């Protein structure tokens, strides 16, 4: 069979279904149903091959769930249930595979032995059974990825599959990012088409980067590559879909929509089959479906080529998708947002409305003696524009009661507008939101931006109290930009211009403004981008002459000392290549002040 499958003219194209689905980590039954429905749609549309994303059966990333033997066994059983529902259309689907009794523990690519018994694997299924399995060989362990902790690398040569008369190879995500790696190996072994299943999270510019990398693999190997990506939110990660095909000539032959589920069926052109002498067969060729089912001879189905999205459209779609999935996958339907009349809470509320619908978003205004009249009216106008309900719960009674309790212990009055008094106000607001959320079954969205998070301009257990920090990976200037973009899309002042025009203020003390405690955001944000996202030293940033040297040093020191706060704040959607959390892991106790950083 292997020799026969590597010879012959074969079809000139294959009908492929890209099944861009949104699984939920750990929901094996739900994920099987989701995958089976997509595969059935593909088969009904006449596809030869349905391709589902990386770990579509388990959800991605499963993290330490894979260290539980019961989870790995359940994943394999779920795969069997999915395979039993397949028919004449072959399906490629990702799942967590176990080591099994015949597999010995082996070092990984770096010679380090993994303690995991799990593999990040992909199965090829058809006619009610699993026809073959491939285990991911190259495990990423950078940025947000910890796959060397969770998986063992595969060591077997990837098999080839005869599907609809075409010779198809399968790879998993990072396998296709390795120069002269598995994609080239499969092409040399006779593959006419290589499938690459992905769980590739979004960051700004990632779609273009994916297409460029796969374009290089195609140039090396001379075969078309079908890349299928997950879509959906998982904790702080956002998977943007954007599945695509790079043709053997290097052009983008197909591109699916981003940030939405879809099943797209179209024809992919194939190069002629190669004759591989039997003595060179190092890859098994597994017969899955015969040529009689292929697209050759049928009217061609054109491929979708979705236009690229601009940066603001990508960021908005990512925020909306991440918020919707975090709320709904957590079992909630409604959220509340503290509306201050400021830009951060306005953007958070607008995202929530697009994600969940106005009926599921509840604004809470919590004015104090320091709140300006326009803060209340701006918040009310925003709520009216968004169509959400808004209630006013003044914090003065709670603030006064707490202040009296503390003053009794101190034996003196609190300094009005001092730090302790300011933090008490913020904590009364946080407690108010949490109490309302408890009573109504809401989830609290926090409103802090990346600039505030970076320098610790927040109150623990106050404005940081909540479940999901929607704008936490947006610098302050980006918050303004995205508000204006959303207004442009709406064709109106959805977010009132008065919100965008006024000076930022926490309004915790008389006449307070952010620029009394921080440099202006036009100065602060460029410093923070260099220090946090580009890992520049203090000295390098000082040489950029963005601000006086002492200001740069002060800002960077604030970032370092605020690490303890960031460890206690809610997660939020990752939009950049270095968000706080998974991307940036700094010690809390840290006295490093190297010469290169001065």
- pLDDT band, very low/low/confident/very high, at 502 (cuts 50, 70, 90): confident
Round to whole Å and give the CA distance between 89 and 209: 31
Phi-psi region of 455 (alpha: psi -120 to 50; beta: other; left: phi over 0): alpha
**Residue range 297-336, pLDDT digits in tens:** 788 999 999 999 999 999 999 999 999 999 999 999 999 9
Token readout for 82 is 């999915």
Is a pLDDT exceeding 80 seen at residue 389? yes
Pairing of strands 224-229, 193-198: parallel
Token readout for 369 is 């003696």
Instruction: Give residue 5's pLDDT.
Output: 41
Instruction: Give residue 279's pLDDT.
Output: 57
Is a pLDDT exceeding 90 seen at residue 276? no
Range 159-183 average pLDDT: 94
Q: What is the pTM of this model?
A: 0.92
Tell me what the pLDDT averaged over the chain comes to: 91
**Cα torsion for 475, 477, 481, 487, to the nearest 10°?**
100
C-alpha 390 chain-centroid distance: 31
Round to whole Å and give the CA distance between 355 and 260: 12
Token readout for 547 is 């601000």
166-205 burial, b for 16+ CB within 10 Å, e for fewer?
bbbbbbbbbbbbbeebbbbbbbbbbbbbbbbbbbbbbbee
Instruction: Give residue 100's pLDDT.
Output: 58
**Residue range 431-475, pLDDT digits in tens:** 999 999 999 999 999 999 999 999 999 999 999 999 999 999 999
- From the list 210, 181, 170, the residue with the least C-alpha distance to 52 is 170
- From the list 195, 154, 157, 184, the residue with the least C-alpha distance to 48 is 195
**Residue range 4-51, pLDDT digits in tens:** 344 456 789 999 999 999 999 999 999 999 999 999 999 999 999 999
For residue 293, what is the DSSP state? G
Round to whole Å and give the CA distance between 30 and 60: 14
- From the list 135, 132, 119, the residue with the least C-alpha distance to 161 is 132
Residue for token digits 């770990």?
A: 55
Higher-pLDDT residue of 579 and 298 is: 579
Round to whole Å and give the CA distance between 91 and 50: 5
- Could you check whether the bond before residue 308 is cis, i.e. omega within 30 degrees of 0? no
Range 577-587 average pLDDT: 92
Largest CA distance in the chain: 93
Is a pLDDT exceeding 90 seen at residue 282? no
Is a pLDDT exceeding 90 seen at residue 280? no
Backbone angles phi, psi at 67, to 5 degrees: -80, -5
Instruction: Give residue 208's pLDDT.
Output: 95
Instruction: Give residue 3's pLDDT.
Output: 37
Residue for token digits 């061609």?
A: 300
DSSP labels for 493-545? Answer: -SS-HHHHHSPP---SSTT--GGGTS--HHHHHHHHIIIIIS---HHHHHHTT
Is a pLDDT exceeding 80 seen at residue 293? no
Instruction: Give residue 129's pLDDT.
Output: 96
Contact in structure between 523 and 550 (CB atoms under 8 Å): no
Instruction: Give residue 298's pLDDT.
Output: 84
Instruction: Give residue 105's pLDDT.
Output: 47
**Residue range 89-148, pLDDT digits in tens:** 999 999 999 975 433 444 545 455 555 789 999 999 999 999 999 999 999 998 999 999
Is a pLDDT exceeding 80 seen at residue 264? yes
**Residue range 523-536, pLDDT digits in tens:** 999 999 999 999 99
- pLDDT band, very low/low/confident/very high, at 512 (cuts 50, 70, 90): low
113 burial level (CB within 10 Å; 0-12, 13-18, 19+): exposed
**Residue range 356-387, pLDDT digits in tens:** 999 999 999 998 887 667 789 999 999 999 99
- Find the helix or strand (DSSP H, E) in which 15 lies: strand 13-20
Instruction: Give residue 101's pLDDT.
Output: 41
C-alpha 405 chain-centroid distance: 44
* 354 CB neighbour count, 10 Å cutoff: 20
For residue 547, what is the DSSP state? S
Token readout for 404 is 């009296």
Higher-pLDDT residue of 174 and 371 is: 174
Backbone angles phi, psi at 359, to 5 degrees: -65, -15
Round to whole Å and give the CA distance between 380 and 138: 53
Alpha helices, H only, 166-310? 182-188, 206-221
Round to whole Å and give the CA distance between 417 and 53: 54
The proportion of the chain whose per-residue pLDDT surpasses 90, expressed as a percent, equals: 81
Active-site residue numbers? 54, 136, 173
Round to whole Å and give the CA distance between 581 and 77: 33
Q: List C-alpha distances in Å: 113 to 151, 301, 464.
A: 11, 47, 40
Range with the lowest mean pLDDT among 83-87, 146-150, 229-233, 296-300? 296-300
Residue for token digits 């507008």?
A: 417
Is a pLDDT exceeding 80 seen at residue 275? no
Instruction: Give the SS3 label for residue 580.
Output: strand
Round to whole Å and give the CA distance between 561 and 471: 21
Rg of the chain over CA atoms, in angstroms?
Answer: 27
Residue for token digits 């590559």?
A: 225
Instruction: Give residue 385's pLDDT.
Output: 98
C-alpha 123 chain-centroid distance: 24
- From the list 445, 457, 430, 453, the residue with the least C-alpha distance to 366 is 430
Round to whole Å and give the CA distance between 359 and 53: 33
Is a pLDDT exceeding 80 seen at residue 88? yes
Domains of the chain: 2-100+111-295 (3.60.110.10), 312-513+571-576 (3.40.50.620)
Instruction: Give residue 371's pLDDT.
Output: 64
Is a pLDDT exceeding 70 seen at residue 484? yes
- From the list 88, 76, 94, 90, the residue with the least C-alpha distance to 34 is 94
Instruction: Give residue 516's pLDDT.
Output: 75
Range 493-516 average pLDDT: 78
Range 268-277 average pLDDT: 81
């Amino acid at each position: 069979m292997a020799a026969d499958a590597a010879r012959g003219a074969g079809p000139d194209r294959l009908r492929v279904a890209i099944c861009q689905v949104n699984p939920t980590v750990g929901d094996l039954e739900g994920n099987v149903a989701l995958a089976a429905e997509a595969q059935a749609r593909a088969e009904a549309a006449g596809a030869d091959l349905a391709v589902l994303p990386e770990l579509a059966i388990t959800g991605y990333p499963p993290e330490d769930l894979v260290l539980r033997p019961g989870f790995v066994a359940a994943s394999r059983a779920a795969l069997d249930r999915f395979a039993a529902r397949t028919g004449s259309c072959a399906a490629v689907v990702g799942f967590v595979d176990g080591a099994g009794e015949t597999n010995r523990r082996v070092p990984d690519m770096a010679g380090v032995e993994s303690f995991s018994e799990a593999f990040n694997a992909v199965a090829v299924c058809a006619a009610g059974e699993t026809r073959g399995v491939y285990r991911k060989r190259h495990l990423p362990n950078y940025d947000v990825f910890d796959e060397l902790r969770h998986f063992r690398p595969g060591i077997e040569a990837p098999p080839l599959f005869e599907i609809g008369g075409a010779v198809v190879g399968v790879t998993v995500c990072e396998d296709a990012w390795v120069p002269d790696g598995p994609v080239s190996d499969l092409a040399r072994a006779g593959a006419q088409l290589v499938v690459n299943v992905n769980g590739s999270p979004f960051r700004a510019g990632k779609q273009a980067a994916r297409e460029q990398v796969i374009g290089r693999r195609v140039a090396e190997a001379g075969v078309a590559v079908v890349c299928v990506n997950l879509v959906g939110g998982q904790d702080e990660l956002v998977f943007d879909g954007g599945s695509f095909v790079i043709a053997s000539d290097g052009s983008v032959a197909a591109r699916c929509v981003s940030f939405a589920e879809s099943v797209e069926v179209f024809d992919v052109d194939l190069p002629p089959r190669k004759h591989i002498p039997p003595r060179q067969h190092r890859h098994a060729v597994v017969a899955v479906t015969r040529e009689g089912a292929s697209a050759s001879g049928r009217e061609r189905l054109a491929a979708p080529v979705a236009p690229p999205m601009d940066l603001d459209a990508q960021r908005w779609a990512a925020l909306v998708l991440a918020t919707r999935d975090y709320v709904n996958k957590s079992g909630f339907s409604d959220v509340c947002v503290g509306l201050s009349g400021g830009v951060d809470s306005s953007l958070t509320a607008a995202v929530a409305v697009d994600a969940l619908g106005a009926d599921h978003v509840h604004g809470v205004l919590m004015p104090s003696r320091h709140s300006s009249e326009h803060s209340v009216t701006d918040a009310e106008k925003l709520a009216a524009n968004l169509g959400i309900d808004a209630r006013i719960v003044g914090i003065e009674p709670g603030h006064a009661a707490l202040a009296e309790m503390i003053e009794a212990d101190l034996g003196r009055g609190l300094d009005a507008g001092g730090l302790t008094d300011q933090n008490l106000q913020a904590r009364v607001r946080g407690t108010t939101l949490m109490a309302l959320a408890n009573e109504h079954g809401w989830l609290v969205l926090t409103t802090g931006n990346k600039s505030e998070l970076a320098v610790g301009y927040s109150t623990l257990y106050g404005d940081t109290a909540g479940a999901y920090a929607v704008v936490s990976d947006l610098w302050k200037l980006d918050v303004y930009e995205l508000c204006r973009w959303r207004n442009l899309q709406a064709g109106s002042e959805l977010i009132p211009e008065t919100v965008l025009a006024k000076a930022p203020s926490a309004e915790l003390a008389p006449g307070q403004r952010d620029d009394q405690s921080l440099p202006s955001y036009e100065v602060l944000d460029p410093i923070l981008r260099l220090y946090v996202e580009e890992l520049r030293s203090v000295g390098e940033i000082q040489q950029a002459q963005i601000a006086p040297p002492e200001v740069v040093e002060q800002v960077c020191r604030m970032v370092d000392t605020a690490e303890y706060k960031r460890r206690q704040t809610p997660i939020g959607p990752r939009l950049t290549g270095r968000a706080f959390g998974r991307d940036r892991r700094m010690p809390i106790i840290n006295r490093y002040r190297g010469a290169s950083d001065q």
